[in-house]
Each structure stands twice: as C-alpha cells, then as structure tokens.
Amino acid sequence: MNKVVIITGGGGAIGSATARLFSENNYKCAIVDIDKENALGTIADLNNSQEHDYFVADVSVPKSINDLVESVIKQFGRIDVLVNLAATNRKSFSQTDNIEERWDKTIDNDLKSVYLLSERIVVEMAKTGGGAIVNIGSIAGGFLGSHTIPYSAAKAGILAITKSHARIYGAHNIRVNCIVPGIIDTAMVHDSVAQKEDNYFNVIKENTPLKRWGKVDEIAEAIFFVGSNKCEFMTGASIMIDGGATLTLGPRLDEMPPFKWEKWTPNL
C-alpha cells in the first residue's frame, strides 16, 4: 500500500519541492495550503501515476484541522507522514497591528498550528502502526537573533514541541524530528532583497561560510530523509541546514544601530 504524506504550506517553494520528492518515491500527497491556486500549482507538478489531492485549510483553527484530517482519511485511508511547513512570518500581520496583535497572529499561524495538527494526526498514525512528523524550525528560533521576535519565539517553540512529541509518542512508533533551515533562495527572499534598504539577506549570505543561500531542494531532501523509512531510529532530533551561518553571524544583523524600540500600544 502506498504511504500518504500531508504537507502543510504545500503550495510554497519548499512545499512543492518536498511534494515532488515524496511523489517520486511513490507516496500519495495531500497538499494543504490556505491558497487554492498555490496548492493546485503543486499538484500539477507531481507524478501523475500516484493519487494526489489538495485541501484548502487554515491549520491554526481547530475545526479546520479536524475537517482536514477527516477529509484526508476519507480519501486516502491513512496518514503516514506529516510535514509541518506552513508558516507566515511577517505575512501573518499588518504593519498597523500593535505588538500584542502581531504576537497572537504569528504564534497562532506558526506555532499553535504545529501543536494542534500534530496532536490530531498522531491519533490516526497510532491506528496504523505509527508514522513520522517533520517540523520546520529556523535559525531565527534560538540560534540567531531576529527583529521579528514573535517569529523567533514560534520557531524556538517548535524545537520544544519536537522533543516533547518525540518523547511522548515514541511508544506508538511515531517519530518526530525538526529541520532547521537558514536563509533559503526563494521568491520571498528575492522580493525582500528588492524592497528592503538594510540588505539583510545579502549580509547573511556574505557572512555565511558557504557564501550562498540554501536551495529549496536541499531542504526537501532533508525533509524526505527524516520523514521516510531511511532513518527509522531518529527521533527528537534537529538538523541544521544553514551553510554554516550560525557559526559566524553576529546578533541583529537585520537591525543596524540605532535600535528601534517597539511602539507600546496595548489594547486597553
């Protein structure tokens, strides 16, 4: 029986590359994205000899999560791998939001979603003898300072969830690991380089030992490795793929002096 993988954020660059790799290795792919067009774009690029489908869902909302899981089970009958790729960073809030609103929206989208979806899916994995969960962290989460503090907190929290879930669900043959990317060469990075005056991503590249950004296929390969049966004795681990950036980068390269204080505007 072909195994089934759920990939959240499957319409993005890394999600699409990851889906292609699983598809090429005879997995049925459930592509989950908040944007239908992005999800359809990934589906169109997959190996058509396998059964694949897309699901539009907000994985920060419990009802949406439950509807998603029930739909996948109804169609495919099982879930063997979950890849928690969905994340929004600054796209989860507007520049007019105050610091509490930015915190709540980012934590919901980037951290709460990982916790709730994983908790729901382990129930299904346990029924079929186990599975694998691959979380996606970031060098911004506990390894390198960032001016997007809610995002850093969310990614650090993902590391903690990874270890805790690995310990709790290992007895059910469910492995949980985390991939920790550095800066990856995507359209979002190029857009930021074009729009920002502080040259943040280029500064990181210049100070990275390998002198480049990562490639989406390099992250996809790592996700497939830990999600497949290629390393069935690995759980609770974090794999850093950053070109050595965290070996050499100092803190706050993204925010040149003078430091800008957050505006304190609470909801009273």
* Residue from 141, 116, 133, 151 nearest 236 by CA: 133
Helix 99-107, helix 149-169: angle, nearest 10: 30
Q: Which residues have a catalytic role annotated? A: 151
Lookup result for tokens 């907000």:
58
* Parallel/antiparallel/unpaired status of strands 81-84 and 4-8: parallel
Per DSSP (E only), the strands in 162-202 are 174-181
Give, as one character, the DSSP assignment of residue 214.
B
Is residue 178 within 8 Å of residue 137, measured between CB atoms? yes
Report, in angstroms and rounded to the nearest whole number, the Rg of the chain calculated over CA atoms. 18
Element (DSSP H or E) covering residue 71: helix 62-76
- Quote the CA–CA distance of 36 and 228 in Å, as a whole number: 27
Lookup result for tokens 């599975």:
131
How far CA 103 is from CA of 98, 141, 176, in Å, comes to: 9, 15, 26
Amino acid present at 245: A
Give, as one character, the DSSP assignment of residue 144.
S
- Quote the CA–CA distance of 258 and 89 in Å, as a whole number: 24
Is 37 buried (19+), middle (13-18) or exposed (0-12) by CB count in 10 A? exposed
